Amino acid sequence: MNNHDILKELAAVLEARKSESPDSSYVASLYAKPDKMLEKIGEEAVETIIAAKNNDREQIIYETADLWFHSMVMLAQKGLCPDDILDELARRFGMSGHDEKASRHAQNKS
């Protein structure tokens, strides 16, 4: 399985967990408590930052995986999938970060 396939496979599992009981599935328990799901994203983001500040390669990988996982749970809960994010990254590719940010501000003013 290649890396892109794992995102699709995980997205399919997360979608399937929407119909599971919160008592039988960690992901379903997060869907049942959206605030807890969002708290987990914040917690994992902080832990990723700490790992990076400590230059701990293994912890950076572990915590980033947790951050991505919980972010994917939130995306699934919102009806989004990894391809939605990959499409946005592809749109931005080759564009200056300053230009991309300015284009978002211009869109928000219209």
User: Are the C-beta atoms of 41 and 47 separated by less than 8 Å?
Assistant: no
In the structure encoding, which two tokens stand for residue 51, read together? 């790992």
How far is residue 35's CA from residue 43's CA, in Å, rounded to a whole number? 12
Q: Decide: 11 and 73 in contact? Cβ < 8 Å.
A: no
The predicted-structure confidence for 86-98, as pLDDT tens digits, reads as follows 999 998 888 787 8
Contact between 44 and 38 (Cβ < 8 Å): no
**What's the pLDDT tens digit per position in 30-68?**
999 999 999 999 999 999 999 999 999 999 999 999 999
What does the pLDDT read at residue 110? 62
- In the numeric block, which tokens belong to residue 11? 């997205």
Given a contact cutoff of 8 angstroms between Cβ atoms, the answer to whether 70 and 45 are in contact is no
pLDDT in tens, 10-27: 999 999 999 999 999 999
In the predicted structure, residue 4 carries a pLDDT above the cut 70? no
